[in-house]
A and B are shown apart, each in its own frame.
Chain A
Amino acid sequence: MAQVHLRDVVKNYGPLEVVHSINLDIADNEFVVLVGPSGCGKSTTLRMIAGLEEISGGEIFIGDNVVNDLPPRERNISMVFQNYALYPHMTVRENLGFSLKIAKRPQAEIDKAVDEAAEILSLTPLLDRKPGALSGGQRQRVAMGRAIVRHPDVFLFDEPLSNLDAKLRTQMRVEIKKLHQKVRSTIVYVTHDQVEAMTLADRIVIMRDGHIEQIGTPLDVFENPVNTFVATFIGSPPMNLLNGVVRDGAVVLEDGTTVPVPPGYQAREGQAVQLGMRADNVMPVGHSLPPTEHMAQIEMDVNLTEPLGTETLLFAELAGAEVQAKMLNPRPVEAGERMTFQVMLDKCHLFDAESGAALRG
């Protein structure tokens, strides 16, 4: 039993409230990623689950127990820190076995658990080294090994990859995913990198300013963002947002261009809205996927191109705003060229301009 439940959890530092009454249910063996920009309260939330920060209000359950007042060592959790937090004066073997040694387990059991963990993480040849003699990726693996030897109820990861270079990060991301498949266990993972969140998570929790904005599977939050924040935070490049007003079932942009209201969305006549479309769904005619049912055509001037090989990112201008579009099977494009684009309307979104909330019909 290793479900984690957060009930109206609040954190304040003096008069400053940083986490506002959040609720979250994490299932057994689920991989949940808390993601959001810096200062959104995701790390604080994780540290409250760990017991490293006191909870100012609400309740946290691990399994069936309220752990509000339990010190970290009684919560049966383990944590991987951003800066690895290895004990520099101990060898890798001692680092891995430390928690078991503290728990006064027999030496034979400690050795076995350490060897097992080292095996899983390919640390066996490094067991007698000190952390100072390891590379960043190796240290990260030791930190993860230290977490798995204890077979905790819950793994907590606090931005574990942010100190690694891009290539290593991709590699470790895969290893973490593999690790989760090998040692089925509940994982709560904090990151500010939406790619990490998308690739690792069973469910993503998107946070902003101490509130949870949306909880859902990666595809769900990608395809059905509840507001403009989630829409622009998840996905790369960020979703294009264009200001407009609804007239006769169509969105009239500031320069007069009209685009039909995307299917599945509803807006009042005259309502100020933002039309959201991802670059993947705006493509120049002749370079796009076969047409689908709901299509709109717009004309834009291309200002800048970013060739990526298999595709080219086009930076165009529409109604005073920058729009990013994608060209598959690219051909060379001159800056300033006027092109006709197809917009896949059924992949577009409509948000209220004032609140940012999605206008689902």
Chain B
Amino acid sequence: MKSLKLPPWLVLLLPAIIILAAVVLIPLVLSLYSSFTAYKLTRPDSLYRWIGTFNYEKAIGDAKFWAAFGRTVLLLTVALNLEMLFGLGLALMVSKVTRGQRALRTMMMFPMMFSPILVGFQFKFIFNDNVGLVNNALQSLGITDQAIPWLVDGNLAMFSIIFAEVWTATSVFAILILAGLYAIPKDPLEAAKVDGCTAWQSFRYVTLPFLMPFIYIAMAIRSLDVARAYDIVQIMTNGGPARRTELLWTLIGRTGYVDARMGYANAMGYISIFLAIFFTVFFFRKLTAARAELGMGV
């Protein structure tokens, strides 16, 4: 029998192709396919029931889905901006520290070392209306005499989640911006001093433009992180009360694994992916522009 002769380049690439197919390609195609079926986890045979774009139409017409979508965008916007501002402030302060800066930098990373699940539990406790730290402190100080329902009130619950999110991730910004601060050449700053800049003007016209690429890198990384936010919210509020903190992935997770409607969940997932892609593309555009601005090439 004449053996099958594969060209050498294909043979050499085959391991990579097999692994990629198994890990990425097949799950991707399968999930895409299933989003066009009535697939329910509890009834495996439903995987073969083709229903066309029904799931997508249903998601697009679903107010709950769009509410979750909007909330995710809101969380993204608020959390990223707060983290950026706090991170920038923190980095600027740490960069001025002359002694013990290493220790400070290490300490800054502590929040990132905890699993988001644990952070969720921790803040669930802190914001608990009966035994939580915040209410305890407020009541002891006499600022309020009633228990504030941090995680039960719709608006406060969103605030609490943003608070936890900011607590964990501000250091991502702080560390990247700090790296940016170290990379700024000293000469233009001195030139700015001689040119008559006050400290604020030096920051505004020289330091900040140099930092922008670093800020956008942090934004791009964090936007992917927040767009897939699930764990902290799941633990703290489980999307409640009455879906007031429901985000895309808590909704999709519940639909897929609790309600077992995997086909529909996959359809929502594919729509949601665009959100993440949009933000990533947006920040990379900004990053490229900021780098070009500095003459760093594209």
Contact = CB atoms under 8 A, between A and B. Distances in A.
A79 B209 contact: no
Contact of A89 (B194, B196, B295): B295
A79 B187 contact: no
B188 A50 contact: no
B195 A131 contact: no
A78 B295 contact: no
B19 to A, nearest CB: 42
Interface in A67-125: 71-73, 77-79, 81-89, 98-99, 102-103
Choose among A73, A79, A83 the residue with the greatest number of B CB atoms under 10 Å from its CB: A73
Interface stretch (B159-167, B198-206, B216-224): B198-206
Interface string B48-67: 00000000000000000000
Contacts of A295: none
Given A78-B195, A102-B196, A85 B190 contact: yes
Given A131-B295, A133-B295, A81 B195 contact: no
Contacts of B190: 52, 79, 81, 85
Contacts of B294: 88-89, 132
B291 to A, nearest CB: 10
Interface string A44-69: 00000011100000000000000000
Interface in B277-298: 293-296
Nearest to B210: A89
B7 interface: no
B62 to A, nearest CB: 46
Nearest to A101: B205
Contact of A81 (B187, B206, B210, B296): B187
B32 interface: no
Contacts of B185: 83, 85
- Bin the interface of chain B by size: 20 to 34
A133 B293 CA distance: 12
B191 interface: yes
A7 interface: no
B193 A98 contact: no
Nearest to A82: B187
Choose among A73, A78, A87, A89 the residue with the greatest number of B CB atoms under 10 Å from its CB: A89
B31 to A, nearest CB: 44
Interface of B is mostly: helix
A103 B197 CA distance: 8
B187 A99 contact: no
Contacts of B209: 87, 89
Contact of B195 (A73, A89, A130): A73
A146 interface: yes
Contacts of B188: 85-88
Given A87-B206, A89-B209, A50 B194 contact: yes
B205 A87 contact: yes
- Bin the interface of chain A by size: 20 to 34
A103 B196 contact: yes
A123 B209 CA distance: 25
Contacts of B296: 88, 132
Contact of B191 (A79, A89, A103, A133): A79
B197 A83 contact: no
Nearest to B190: A52
Interface string B171-191: 000000000000001011011
Contacts of A99: 195-196
Contacts of B295: 88-89, 130-133
Nearest to B187: A85
Given A85-B187, A86-B188, A88-B294, A98 B195 contact: yes
A146 B197 CA distance: 14
Contacts of A71: 193
A205 to B, nearest CB: 21
Nearest to B212: A89
Contacts of A132: 294-296
A78 B194 CA distance: 6
A72 B194 contact: yes
Given A73-B198, A89-B295, A150-B195, 4 more contacts: A51-B193, A71-B193, A82-B187, A85-B185
Task: Give the 9 A-B residue pairs with the shortest CB-CB distance, closest first.
Answer: A132-B295, A85-B187, A99-B195, A73-B196, A85-B191, A89-B209, A72-B193, A89-B293, A88-B295
13 contacts: A51-B194, A72-B194, A72-B196, A73-B194, A78-B194, A83-B187, A85-B185, A85-B191, A86-B191, A87-B206, A102-B196, A132-B295, A146-B195
